[in-house]
Structure 1
Amino acid sequence: MKDLNVIVERELANVEGEPTAQQLIEALMVAVRELQGDLEPAKGERKLYYFSAEFLMGRLLRANLINLGLLDEAEALLAGYGTTLAEVEEAEPEPSLGNGGLGRLAACFLDSIASLGLPGDGVGLNYHYGLFRQDLSHGIQEEHADPWIAPQSWLVDTGRAFWVQLRGQHLLAKVYDVQIPGYQNGVCNQLHLFDVENPAEPPAEGIDFDKQDLAGNLTSFLYPDDSDDAGRILRVCQQYFMVSAGAQMILADLEAAGHALTELPEHVAIQINDTHPSMVIPELIRLLTERGIDFGTAVDLVQRTCNYTNHTILAEALEKWPVSYLETVAPQIVPIIKKLDELARERTDNPGLSIWDANDTIHMAHMDVHFASKVNGVAELHTEILETSTMKDFYDLYPEKFTNKTNGVTFRRWLMGCNEPLAQMLDDTIGCAWRTDANALEDLVQHVDEEELQNRFLGVKYHRKEELAKWLKDTQGVDVNPDAVFDVQIKRLHQYKRQQMNALYAIWKYRQIKAGVKPARPLVMIFGAKAAPAYTLAKDTIHLLCLLSELFANDPEVAPYLQIVAVENYNVSAAEHVIPAADISEQISLASKEASGTSNMKLMANGAVTLGTMDGANVEIVERAGEENAYIFGRSSEDVIDLYDTGSYHPWDYWRDPEVEPLVDFVVSPELLSTGDPASLSRLYKDFIAADYFMALLDVKDYISTKERCLADYENRNAWARKALMNIARSGHFSSDRTIAEYDRDIWHVNPELGQ
């Protein structure tokens, strides 16, 4: 095998003087790519293709060094240059290929697929400028292009390309690969990313661009602004470009391996990650019929090949496109979809299950459920709600299709990679078996009462808080006190995740301090989130948080006790600093609305204690960690579903509560209006009292009292450490290795022995 040191020295041979961090990172990237290029993809009779609109990979150098078993060697090499990996990796660009949990989950899955030795690749798009780079410097979210593709990146030009017919044009979809090495097993799979031939330059400012210029801008941004028809049609273009090129690649791979097209299900499994790649079903059928296979046979082949993961209970996230959009973008698949709708209507006379409805709207999730082999939810509660409520009629029609696959995260990045001091503590306490089998973390249970271990954990956590404080100072100029409680809510900004309820708590705490009730310990409330550019209420919430942050910081009576930090341009790299330092994990979505969550799992594994509702995977986290090791509040999912069904939730009834009204009214108080945008604050205020669709006011009093109890308990430091250690010990179930083993056992069957 090639030697890391030799390749790095070769790359730096012409550097005069001491190499810069940029030169060192580029040399290491070249070396790692070369070493990974010598590895082989996992082999098998059946291969998985994981289709996703997002793959939020994060920086890859450290993760790949861990998986190659070269982390210590790289650190020794860098020590020779007087630096460390932690110092130089700040110069590594982070791929802007995703936004939230959907994309980070897909990235974890690729890591686990390779680490379990499964033949499986990712399929997506090569976005040049990401979702956007977030700027909060003016107290509002401003969006800018986020270019990340440098001369030295992780992209490998494969030389492969496929023609895609789109809006009357023929566009060449070039294939770039990102290598995905398994954990020290000699396997290297691929993430295939399709791109246009001549991508456009980024906008001079903002994220506005010519949405009609497909040849230049099709792969510019993730999720183009969907506030107008042009943006929505561009999204459909992106989706069809991805699935058409991906379907062609799959059939080319199949034929190159010497298999007949009629053997597709025997050699290929496709996972549709949310509804964005749904058009792979009609596109594959179209390609098979073009190659001489009759329609009925093509449908059967594709149905036995494709599977669908549902990620949401929210109706607006189950994509529906007007037929006119598809006729504009890809008229060649419209007749296929029409025939699929006719087949679906033969299976059921329920018009609510149609693919093509009476309003000439195509329901992507309906097509997935009718013509996929398996349909899975991503947490036990989520799947139960799908089966009994959201997709009950589908479940009654196809009970054999539905299955649960609770999400997971890779501990290689989210413990070994981002929290080495904690990983070392675990090695010293229970050995290293957990590094290859996360279930071995269960051995920590027998040590959680040891005072010496509790104190060591508290020391590790304090050290990570000091490191986060330094990072925030260096990157944002913000000073935070490591002695404070670090209360963390990190997830994309959405009303159902209820950052707005957390803001009401901040207002309550501020009013308490102004009334003379000083807390025993300072509280730092850390938020990390981007709001979709067209999501006005989410952007209003960011504005409110920024205003509160400024108000608290400028008040000498409050500043020593209460602080809000909004992490600007929150991404994977930021998460790797924030998560190890968190004391409290805020998981406060309205019960029944969060499909799973994955930040809850990462924070749990790093010793943060959950403050949350019984929603998504929180239910399973609490079951495993124990109710005494979490702080649960709020109405149940059954209660919430009933409130929606009966239309009996009226926010003004809760607003009139004398304890709640001052909090909501503060949103339009003179203190905030003096520096804030009146239109934004008024809009948010009116939503609280007249709509509050995700019921922040329903739970806010319970939330405040539970959070106060949580903060009080934090003062018993060893008892708190025991809670945190129990969370770590019981976090092994939430490894993406377990999730992927279950996917393969029950759905993909690319390795029949796995998971038995």
Structure 2
Amino acid sequence: MSKKSSLLSDGMVNRTVSEQNIKESILHHLRYSLVHLPEQATPRDWWLALSLAIRDRITDDMSDTQIVHNRDNVRRVYYLSMEYLMGRMLINNAHNIGVYDDAKQAIEELGLDWEQICDEEMDMGLGNGGLGRLAACFLDSLATLDLPAIGYGIYYEFGLFKQEFQQGKQVEHPDTWLKYGTPWDIIRPEYSQTIQYYGRVETVFDSAGNARPVWVDTRSVMGVPFDIPVAGYDTKTVNFLRLWSSHSTEDFDLEEFNKGDYVEAVRSKAMGETISKVLYPNDQNANGKELRLVQQYFFVACSLADILRRFEKMNSNWTSLPEKATIQLNDTHPAIAIAELTRILLDDKHLDWDTTWDIVTRTFAYTNHTLLPEALEKWSVGLFEKVLPRHLQLIYEINHRFMGEVAQHWPGRNDILQALSIIEEGDHKMIRMAHLAVIGSHTVNGVAALHSQLLKTDLFPHFDQFYPGKFTNKTNGITPRRWLLNCNPGLVDLFKQYGINSEWPKHLEHLRKLENFLDDTVFLDAFMAVKHQNKVQLAAIIQKECGIEVDPSALFDVQIKRLHEYKRQHLTLLNILTLYRRVLNNPDMNMVPRVFIFGAKAAPGYALAKNIIYAINAVAEVINNDPRTQGKLKVAFLPNYRVSLASHIIPAADLSEQISTAGKEASGTGNMKLALNGALTIGTMDGANVEILEEVGPDNIFIFGLNVDQVQDLDRSGYNPHHYYHQDSELKAALDWLCSGHFSPHNSHAFDDIRYSLLDGGDPYKVMADYRAYMDCQQRVSDAYQDRPRWARMAVINTARMGKFSSDRTIQEYADEIWKLPAHSV
């Protein structure tokens, strides 16, 4: 049926027809938007036409949402994040607005392959890992819960990087996801913002002789916003993600161009556009550090200008800003927003300090995502003075006033003053952005119960004492739409067959009904049949991407996440080497066949992480070509890990590796996604693993290793990794073998850095200490996998009991307890 609409007096569209003719819309866009006839169209053309047809339906609701929110002058949450790992949008959007079945049927009626068309979409690569994917899940939940919200970030022309392996080593290539544009963005040039940076501060006097600082001789850059609609599931609310693209405020210099100096003619234009060019420039050098600081200020300044523009349209009293806008800082990257809002209210709006600081501290809230000191951002005072001289003055003033309060609270305690100061003293003074975020926010939250407790006891103990009640917990979550409904259709169909109602994507706790079938062997067999079919599909991807043939009946042991020492992919490598030795030395041993599957990118400047990737690939090359394993052991490292690849790996996983050193992983969300899809977790008592254990029970998860207190006790007592190395013959043999040159015949010292880190380097992440407990736990995994009915029952329990880990629950807690944000239906 054709769409019937009527325009209401307030501009809202009233839709009265329930079913949309998707096929007609696709053909319309193919002809009039893309100027193609069906017989000429490529798969990408069909994908674009389909996406535009879906977008038409989303933008209607987006317009209505903004009309209602603006008309009612609602309170909004503004989510500031450097990353949004959105992945592909088509299938998610089709599900959320309820046209997935119609769209699929339309494509098939046009004689096209649905999966082939959907595979034309490139991942929207605006993030690195868990931080960016969490932000994407939160946007989905905000819209689903009818909460007025806008996300802000950067419209990176190039994502993190495209990963390739050459002779087993990671090689980075530009992620050209935006090369041919995307159907999902909407350019909003009318809301462009021009911001200033660099320059100097001078003191000027008004006619009454009063001095005030003025930021002068600045450079400018323009931020042009692109909006990505974010549709809620089973609701009319469509919020949006506003991403800023940097543009020079000057075009090329025509005079220089006419002289023939072409490079100089476009220099300022190129410099302006560099800011939003690439996600996370390598900050191992001074230029990279400077660009990263400029990036952070660019998106924060543009976003705040946009927030205040929206506020001023409907409000005139600045003290009411916290009543209309609550701003969430996603980690320390946007923490400069505290100084920027202070500058605007003081310098541009001419409010006094006390009023300004009261507004600022009632507006911001801060989410901490890490306990690792190196991940808590610090900037040198010299760099800050160069790029943001006025903000440096304000940070010193904020710190001066705060230090006065601390001195009154703890008289004579210079040690506490040093611990809490925003300015870290030393040979090179540094600005602690996490401290600025804590001081300038009304609430600080961690992202798992254990993490939030460690924030108070280990990372910020004096802040917690000074600000009683400021620190709280909001355990992370994942959207069940993306991470079950979209990526595991076989399991969704099984739910339908067994009467699990359609409410579960919005109320994940409804999956507890699956426990009614724990003694139903037919259901358990069907559940595992779905898992097997997902493994068949992943096996085909492994064959295509890696050239490795794997057996879908083997145990699929999966470790997918950022490559970092604390996540301990090298502990899994030691397990692989140990199993390999066992198979070779005892060919008749009863061993559960395993396929170890990795997906991970290492930061370009993180040499040891890249060496671990090389080591895994080098070991895999030998094992996968050794007939003596009799197919009992395979290793596949899938290149270019991303959201769309994860959506194939996660439903196929049997075992989920969550083996970070206790006290190092803030939360984890991969653990939730894998468990929701029926994978069993092997993990430490770290991050959200603790809460997953509480939900599924100790009989349905494999926990091993040191806990946080034991890790700290080892550090205090003088940890010696050599002790474990010499005490455990299998551990010693595995590490010696890795570093013997057997797996790197052209360079016998290729993996010396790994050996050094684990032994003489002090093994900071306790790989050696946890090795034996890990190996013993892996044996328990093998024993359980051989008992197929038991394994099936455990897998179903994991899927059934993940209700707590819906991002809808997380966001509702933020809305109720931090943002005080009511829902506002359209």
- TM-score exceeds 0.5: yes
1:306 to 364, 371, 380: 364
411, 432, 441: which one aligns with 2:480: 411
Deviations 1:275-295 (A, max 9, x none): 000000000110111211112
Per-residue CA deviations over 1:353-377 (Å, capped at 9, x if unaligned) read 0112323211111111111010000
| 1:12 pairs with 2:30 | yes
- 2:511 is matched with 441
**Cα distance between partner residues in 2 of 1:327 and 1:214:** 20
Change (3 A) 1:680 1:520: closer
TM-score (norm 2): 0.88
> In structure 1, what is the Cα distance between the partners aligned to 2:469 and 2:43?
55
Q: Work out whether 1:36 is the aligned partner of 2:58.
A: yes
CA deviation vs aligned residue, 1:681-702 (integer Å, no higher than 9, x gap): 1111111111211010010111
Equivalent position amino acid for 1:655 in 2: Y
Q: In terms of mean alpha carbon deviation, does 377-386 or 421-430 score higher? A: 421-430
Structure 1 match to 2:819: 748
2:462 is aligned with 1:393: yes
- Does the CA contact (< 8 Å) of 2:561 and 2:600 recur in 1? yes
Q: Which residue of 2 aligns with 1:357?
A: 424
TM-score by length of 1: 0.96
The yes-or-no answer on 1:261 pairing with 2:261 is no
What's the counterpart of residue 640 of structure 1? 711
Deviates more, 1:488-497 or 1:12-21: 12-21
Amino acid at match of 1:619: V
Among candidates 246, 252, 273, match of residue 330 of structure 2: 273
Q: Aligned letter for 2:455?
A: L
Deviation per residue, 1:153-196 (Å, 9 max, x gap): 32210112111112342000111111101112111101010111
Q: Deviations over 1:453-496 (max 9, x none)?
A: 11011100001001111222334433221111100000100000
Contact 1:74–1:85 (CA under 8 A) maintained in structure 2: no
Alpha-carbon spacing, 1:318–1:86, altered in 2? closer, same or farther (3 Å): same
Q: Aligned with 2:309: secondary structure?
A: helix
* Contact 2:146-2:824 at 8 Å conserved across structures: no
2:753 corresponds to which residue? 683
Q: Confirm whether residue 594 of structure 1 aligns to residue 665 of structure 2.
A: yes
**CA, structure 1 residues 323+3, in 2 after alignment: closer, same or farther (shift >3 Å)?**
farther
CA contact (8 A) 1:651 1:697 kept: yes
Secondary structure, counterpart of 1:293 in structure 2: coil
- Deviation for aligned residue 1:390: 1.4
> How far apart in 1 are the matches of 2:455 and 2:581?
41
From 609, 619, 643, the equivalent of 1:548 is 619
Q: In structure 2, list runs of 5 or more residues that go unmatched.
A: 1-14, 199-217, 252-266, 408-415
For 1:158, the equivalent position in structure 2 comes to 188
Partners of 2:160 and 2:223 in 1: CA distance: 21
What does residue 534 of structure 2 align with? 464
Aligned counterpart, 2:741: 670
Aligned to 1:382: 451
Mark the CA change 1:355 to 1:467 in structure 2 (over 3 Å): closer, same or farther. same
Question: Which residue, 689, 692, 695 being the options, matches 1:618?
Answer: 689
More displaced, 546-555 or 353-362? Answer: 353-362
Paired residue secondary structure (2:791): helix
Q: Take 1:216 and 1:197, find their aligned partners in 2: how far apart are those partners? A: 5
Q: Report whether the alignment pairs 1:427 with 2:521.
A: no
Relative distance call for 1:620 and 1:155 in structure 2 (3 A) is same
Find the residue that maps to 1:425 and give its secondary structure: helix
Counterpart of 1:226, as a letter, is D
Contact 2:156 2:277 in 1 (8 A): yes
Aligned position for 2:10? none
Aligned-residue offset at 1:120: 0.5
Q: Deviations over 1:273-320 (max 9, x none)?
A: 010000000001101112111122111101101000000111111111
Looking at structure 2, the residues matched to 753 and 621 of structure 1 have their Cα atoms a distance apart, in angstroms, of: 32
Question: What letter corresponds to residue 242 of structure 2 in structure 1?
Answer: H
Match of residue 237, structure 2, among 187, 191, 195: 187
1:100-139 maps to which residues of 2 (within 5 A)? Answer: 100-139=129-168
In the alignment, structure 1 segments of 5+ residues that lack a partner are: 201-209
SS where residue 128 of structure 1 aligns? coil
Cross-structure match for 2:219: 169
Deviates more, 1:144-153 or 1:253-262: 253-262
In 1, the alpha carbon distance for the partners of 2:449 and 2:478 equals: 16
Structure 2 distance, partners of 1:440, 1:389, is 37
Deviation by residue 1:49-95 (Cα, 9 ceiling, x = unmatched): 10011000010000000011000001101111223432211110111
TM-superposed CA distance for 1:34, in Å, is: 1.9
Structure 1 CA distance, aligned partners of 2:345 and 2:444?
23
Match of 1:206 in 2: none
**Structural RMSD (CA):** 1.9
Give the letter for the 1:169 counterpart.
R
Judging changes above 3 Å, is the alpha-carbon distance between structure 1 residues 139 and 701 closer, same or farther for their aligned structure 2 residues? Answer: same
Structure 1 window deviating more from structure 2 (392-401 vs 598-607): it is: 392-401
Cα distance in 1, alignment partners of residues 550 and 378 from structure 2: 45
Aligned-pair CA distance for 1:435: 2.0
Q: How far has the Cα of 1:213 moved from its partner?
A: 5.8
**Contact kept in structure 1, 2:338 and 2:360, CA below 8 Å:** yes
1:93 alignment counterpart: 122
Question: Which of the numbers 641, 648, 654 marks the counterpart of 1:577?
Answer: 648
- Of residues 587, 590, 605, the one that matches 2:676 is 605
Distance 1:151 1:636, change over 3 A: closer
- SS state at 1:672 partner: coil
Count of paired positions? 743
**Offset, 1:442:** 1.5
Paired amino acid for 2:116: E
* Aligned residue number for residue 696 of structure 1: 767
Q: State whether structure 2 residue 388 is matched by structure 1 residue 330.
A: yes
Aligned equivalent of 1:231, options 278, 285, 288? 288
| Aligned partner (choices 236, 246, 250) of residue 303 of structure 2 | 246
> Which deviates more from structure 2 when the two are superposed, residues 530-539 or residues 686-695?
686-695
Q: Shift of the alpha carbon at 1:16?
A: 4.6
Amino acid at match of 1:219: S
CA deviations 1:576-611 (Å, max 9, x no partner) are 000000000000000111000000000010000000
CA separation in 2, counterparts of 1:446 and 1:551? 46
For the residues of structure 2 that align with 1:456 and 1:343, how far apart are their CA atoms?
65
Contact 2:598 2:638 in 1 (8 A): yes
Write the distance in 1 (CA, Å) between the matches of 2:333 and 2:739: 39
- State the one-letter code of the partner of 2:432: H
Q: Give per-residue Cα distances to partners, 1:119-172, cap 9 Å, x unaligned.
A: 001110111111111011321000110011123432210112111112342000
- Match of 2:186, SS? strand
Q: Structure 1 residues 48, 100: closer, same or farther in 2, change over 3 A?
A: same
CA separation of 1:631/1:178 partners in 2, compared to 1, >3 Å: closer, same or farther?
A: same
